Amino acid sequence: MKPYLQVAAVLTALAAGLAVAAFSWSVVIPSPWLQFPVLIAGLALPLGLLWRLYWPFDSMIPVAAVVSTLVVTVFLGQLLSGYLLDVRGEPQTATVTEYLGTGAKSSGHYVRLADADGDELRDSVRVTEAYAPGANVEILVDPGGWAPPAAADGSRPGGWFPWTAGAAVALLAGLYVLVVRRETGKSPG
């Protein structure tokens, strides 16, 4: 396969993999237990193609691409939810159904909530103070259903997110192009 076709194949697999992995963080997936397999499937696209085309690796650059993909996918997936709530989140009042306790190093209090119709939300929500069951909490809900609800007073990424995400994906794509150039330079054809 010609090097430019390899670059196109690897970048297409990277784009598809990042899209599937970002989708794994959405609430469209009915169960949190399914998020991990979908995330792995998204990561398997670009990483599997690198493995198939270039194994055994002569340098650590492909390994760096693999590790970078894992890191970028996890952070972008989590930040995307917060960004969607910033852009199009609608405030709603929810009722605490259960207090779950504090997070690691007192990072907040976690509660289970029910919406105005009494339906329990799938994900727990981090709030800034402890609430007893029956208390009302202001949350932001994504009308499109992609982002899980979050406390209205919580911190989320601002307008910097698209630029940061674009830069991270561009750097990741550059790393993949470097892998292809380095690996095709050592092999015939």
The per-residue pLDDT for range 58-88, each reduced to its tens digit, is: 777 777 887 888 788 777 777 887 888 888 8
User: Is the same domain home to 7 and 76?
Assistant: yes
Same domain, 49 and 98: no
| Same domain flag for 66 and 94 | no
Question: pLDDT value at position 137?
Answer: 93
pLDDT in tens, 129-139: 888 999 999 99
Residue 149 lies in a domain: no
CA-CA distance, 27 to 63, in Å (whole number)? 31
Assess whether pLDDT exceeds 60 at residue 117. Answer: yes
Closest CA to 13 of 65, 63, 86, 58: 65
Taking residues 164-177, report their average pLDDT. Answer: 85
Give the span between the Cα atoms of 41 and 20, in whole angstroms.
Answer: 7
**pLDDT confidence of residue 188:** 42
Task: Tell me how far apart the alpha carbons of residues 184 and 25 are, in angstroms, rounded to a whole number.
Answer: 34
Parent domain of 101 = 90-141
Are 64 and 94 in the same domain?
no
On whether the CB atoms of residues 72 and 39 are closer than 8 A, the answer is no
Q: How many independent structural domains does the chain possess?
A: 2
Q: What pLDDT, on the 0 to 100 scale, is given for residue 156?
A: 65
pLDDT of amino acid 32: 66
Mean pLDDT of 174-186: 80
For range 28-45, the mean pLDDT: 76
153 domain residue, yes or no: no
Q: Are residues 79 and 169 in the same domain?
A: yes
**C-alpha to C-alpha distance for 103 and 141, rounded to whole angstroms:** 22
Q: Judge whether 148 lies within some domain.
A: no
CA distance 22 to 34: 13
Find the mean pLDDT for residues 92-114: 85
Side chain identity at residue 134, one-letter code: G
Q: Determine what percent of the chain is predicted with pLDDT higher than 90.
A: 12
> 95 with 23, same domain?
no
Distance, in Å, from the CA atom of 13 to the CA atom of 29, rounded to the nearest integer, reads: 22
> What's the CA gap between 165 and 78, in Å, rounded?
11
Q: How many angstroms separate the CA atoms of 12 and 27, rounded?
A: 25
Share of residues in the chain with pLDDT > 70 (%): 89
